[in-house]
Structure 1
Amino acid sequence: MTRVAVRLEQVVDHGDPFVAEANAHLARAGGKRFRPLLTLLASEVGQGWNDDVVDAAVGVELTHLASLYHDDVMDEAELRRGVESANARYGNATAILVGDLLFGTASAVVAGLGADAVRIQAETFIRLCAGQIRDDRQPTVGSDEAVAAYLGILADKTGALIATAARYGAMFGGCDEGTVRTLTEFGEQLGVVFQLADDLLDVASEADASGKTPGTDLREGKATLPVLYARTSTDPADARLLELTRGPIEDPAELDEALALLRGHRAMGQAREHTARVAARARGALAELPQGPAVDALMALVDGVADRSA
């Protein structure tokens, strides 16, 4: 991870001091560095990390960072990783352009890994953007279809990049094709768990603990899994919660009210149970691999991701 951090610092640097500062704003804020960690761990299932694995890890982290710049503009977020968001610091236009620049930098890094890596990066980027578009324009469907539709969105907007993180690690760590496929599938399931846990944290956490502004999804009127489960309620006592979560919430007092009602609702428990089931599927994918320290670490990673929402 130290090698990844050094390489990341190198590639986000720029001759223009302002561009260099804006490029590195979120990278220097820290964060979990979950995706590059997964790339490194996946490589250990094979022959271990090398310079190509490090560059692959940097490529996925740059892609993730770029998406955060765009997400914060869309969400009008004020905090990211415990610091001022890029859009709040530099304005929307600059934040979007820096996000674009980071996407370009990610592509330049991945280009050094060969044609297959470039194709995978492009396919991942398409899925990521398509998933984000669908998430921003959630369709009105029946309650039976809503959860399945939402999970499909998560597989694209979050699962695709985390799947690529694991895939790159396996590829450039010397794994055979079957192991690469297994770790790619594992990564996609893990990505869905990651986003489900994030969605629960958006409701359950306080800003100081999470480094993000809580209730962002509720404020934007996005129906995440807890809201989808709450909408299945026929209890008259839930009428106010259903009214508040019908669309965007502009009034800060109403947002606080919605958060309080949802935090105490059984829908949160249902969403946590669903997250645990997806986590079990991710662990099940690893059962196909020979057991050892790397697979044990990946198993532990699933638990760590899922338990964030507990």
Structure 2
Amino acid sequence: MASIPGVDEELQERVATGLDRVGVRMAEVVDHHDPFIAEAAGHLAAAGGKRFRPLLTLLASEVGQGWNEQVVDAAVGVELTHLASLYHDDVMDEADLRRGVQSANARYGNATAILVGDLLFGTASAVVAGLGAEAVKIQAETFVRLCAGQIRDDRQTLDDLPSAAALAGDADDPAAVTAYLQILADKTGALIATAARYGGMFGGCDAETVLTLTAFGERLGVVFQLADDLLDVSSDISGKTPGTDLREGKATLPVLYARTSEDPADARMLALTRGPVSDPDELDEALTLLRAHRAMGQARAHTRRVADEARALLDGLPDGPAVEALRALVDGVAERSA
């Protein structure tokens, strides 16, 4: 909560207490009688992290009657699902770092990391099962979207996406980035939408408010991923290996914007960002060139536009400390890559 400026002091205290309760509950459900499994399952949780999704669940509940034990379990289920996906992501990315510590695949090997991710998905489902049939269905549908988005993200290349030339004519043309943004909505937005939805549901909000919070969460999730993609280029202190997307040849928004350039001076950058960059020296060169290119500013501006869309979704809700905190949360997420 300290990262959200201007938050009402009483709200901050309630949500901080709720986050502490989420931490305790997570430790309870992740524990295992086998010491190795307990250690591996708790590896990334122990490394910390932003706890962004539980925070959103708790804040969304404050739009209603505030958090309770059902809200806590919903937040735990969402965070465990997120953690499980990180174990799998790091195997696919061949990552060495996560949250500033050795990644699970580097520490335990790929096979164990995948199995521990599966174990955490199962644990999340068991926690959510205690919240009733509707919550279980939402969890399942969210998991399907998350996996579908990740599959398409893993398979997409520059050639799979709409022509970047369309961006040169009209950077606001949604047809040029629809495929890319849909991947983000599924692989990241779906789970963040569920975090907000659960908070509204179990915090006592009416059905219309829950729908608004769900839509807000999905837009916020897209902003979150756009900012993460920018950080993958702009920062080497984010707690994970930089340049992951470039190594894999992924066409994130900065690369799409960069590929609109017709400047001969950008020829080297365009060549390096055309496909996977496996050579470490070439990766460093690609990052340096892309960091200095106007494409980064264009991608940041696009991120701010999506943030504006997320904020606008809150306009139909009654003003109060929780809604103001949600607005501030959008700003904090969007400005991480500034």
**Aligned twin of 2:40:** 22
- Consecutive unaligned residues of structure 1, counting only runs of 5 or more, are none
**Aligned twin of 2:98:** 80
- Select which of 125, 129, 137 maps to 1:111: 129
Shift of 1:141: 3.3
* RMSD of Structure 2 on Structure 1 (CA): 0.7
Q: Does residue 260 of structure 1 match 2:285?
A: no
- Select which of 226, 232, 241 maps to 2:254: 226
* One-letter identity of the residue aligned with 2:246: L
Paired residues in the alignment total 308
- Select which of 199, 217, 222 maps to 1:192: 222
**Aligned twin of 1:168:** 198
> Runs of 4+ in structure 1 displaced over 4 angstroms?
none
Query: Per-residue CA shift, 1:148-203, capped at 9, x if unaligned?
Result: 21001000000000000000000000000000000000000000000000000000
**Aligned twin of 1:284:** 312
Shift of 1:140: 4.4
Query: Per-residue CA shift, 1:113-161, capped at 9, x if unaligned?
Result: 0000000000000000000000011124322355221001000000000
Between the aligned partners of 1:156 and 1:118, the Cα distance in structure 2 is 18
Q: Does residue 156 of structure 1 match 2:168?
A: no
- Select which of 141, 147, 150 maps to 2:162: 141
Secondary structure class of the residue paired with 1:107 = helix
Shift of 1:233: 1.1
Contact 1:55 1:110 in 2 (8 A): yes
**Aligned twin of 2:148:** 130
Contact 1:166 1:184 in 2 (8 A): yes
Secondary structure class of the residue paired with 2:337 = coil
**Aligned twin of 2:210:** 180
Between the aligned partners of 1:114 and 1:234, the Cα distance in structure 2 is 56
Q: Does residue 203 of structure 1 match 2:221?
A: no
Query: Per-residue CA shift, 1:46-79, capped at 9, x if unaligned?
Result: 0000000000000000000000000000000000
**Aligned twin of 2:73:** 55
Report % sequence identity.
82
Q: Does residue 3 of structure 1 match 2:3?
A: no
**Aligned twin of 1:68:** 86
* One-letter identity of the residue aligned with 1:169: G
Contact 1:163 1:185 in 2 (8 A): yes
Normalising by structure 2, report the TM-score: 0.90
Q: For residues 236-275 of structure 1, what are the structure 2 equivalents within 5 Å?
A: 236-275=264-303
